[in-house]
Structure 1
Amino acid sequence: MTSQRLCALVLTPVLMLAPACTSTPGRPASTVATPDTGPSEYTLTEDISVRRIAPGVWVHTTLSGPDFGRYPANGLVIEDGAESLLVDTGWSPAQTEHLLTWAKETLRKPVRAAVSTHFHVDRTAGIPVLVARNIPVYGLEDTVKLATEHGRPVPTESFSGARTLGPVELFFPGAGHARDNLLVWHRDSGVLFGGCFVKDGAAKDLGNVEDADLAAWPASLERTRERFPEARVVIPGHGAPGGPELLEHTRSLIP
């Protein structure tokens, strides 16, 4: 991917994915019609794009540095009245800064709180930026423990099991991709953020399983299906969003 051109995936209103490209960082990348007014996609920099996936719910996609092969990772910005919530920070503090600026100046809904869905770097790298701005960062007690053990930035607010945060439910389904993989459920839109606990439809394997619990993962997926039967859109940590079939697809990849 060149520095002049970023290609992103746009989710159309019928949940079909189509390519969209822009060469103008910081300007709207698409004007696909959605229930909300205004552009549905923005390119913030060559390694950050944001696109509306449902009313009030935006997917941010950040690219890693060369060490990880410019690998894309998904997170969310969720509107919450006059403010918003940030789910996962991207791969670097700089990316987090850009996301906070976009939420404040373009979306006009500054981030009031954030969530890290597990302890890996694509979920936690920007925590210091949030802490410096007095924005609380929520994570599981195990995320705090694991981030500390691995020398990663640490969430400032911890909990176990489940809790409500504004318009979303945070839920721990059990171990899978990691011991601390957290789900984010936005009931109003039917969007379930599975993070790295869920694989995208094109995935041929489970990817990084260094911290995975393969024995526990199937039961954790079943708890997810039981807990969120109304999920209509499921967003993986990497790759294209889909529907509830991504849960079954992930199950099929577990040996």
Structure 2
Amino acid sequence: MVKIGKNYTAIILVAGIGKRINSFTHKPKSLLKYKKEKIIDYIIQNLIKLGIKNFYFVVGYKSEQIKSYLKKYKEKINLFYVYAKNYYKYGSAVSWKSVEKHWKKRKTKILMLHGDLVFNNRLTKEIILEKKRDIIGSVIKTNSSIKNEGFVLEIDEKRKVLSIDHKKNYKKKFNREIACINKFSVSTQIEIFKFMKKYFNNIGKEHTWEYVINKFILSGKNKLYTNTSKKYNWHNINTKEDYLKLNNSKNYKKLI
């Protein structure tokens, strides 16, 4: 079996406090239970199946708890940890940028994703196999099923991304929500890091990566595309309701 991800490094963002779920549980979202394991187990196991060996985990909130749990993978993958300073007040773009000096030592193509996702691995495979070098991953959903706060993609007929924004900020209907699974070539990743530095200096560090990449797209420097996509099973855990829906349960005490 060809390991299509063998030339990729995974950057997994797990630094955030998870403010929208914090009143429900104080565990890092990546360590919440799903079926018989933790959410992070499904992510790592999916990526291992694709041949990815190098993993950067950007940690912050309860970092020692996450690092302790991931020790079981030290014989299977190359684990690297990057601590995101001021994770409690800065956005995920800063978490991503914090990997820069470590990534530059090896400069491989990257797969950047959130650590609170549960998804069908065919989606990841589709993103990696896309002929375009730089992909903002997306999933097909009905417009009504996308939350107003959800980030959607405006694309052209060739699937080039024209903008990223909250659904509520567009007047027209959309059927593509960002999957929070993205791939970037080495050259584009270098350009993104450069752009981030300017963004932080001119606008600030409080924003999530979606805002920064939207400005990057609008600057016209690089062309980013999205995947073909189908209606894959995909869940992003932001709230208590998201988590209960994922587990098809109303009794959260049994889950956490």
Q: Structure 1 or 2: larger strand share?
A: 1
Q: Structure 1 or 2: larger helix share?
A: 2
Q: Is TM more than 0.5 here?
A: no
- So what's the TM-score if we normalise by structure 2? 0.31
- So what's the TM-score if we normalise by structure 1? 0.31
Q: Which has the higher contact order (CA 8 A, sep 6+)?
A: 2
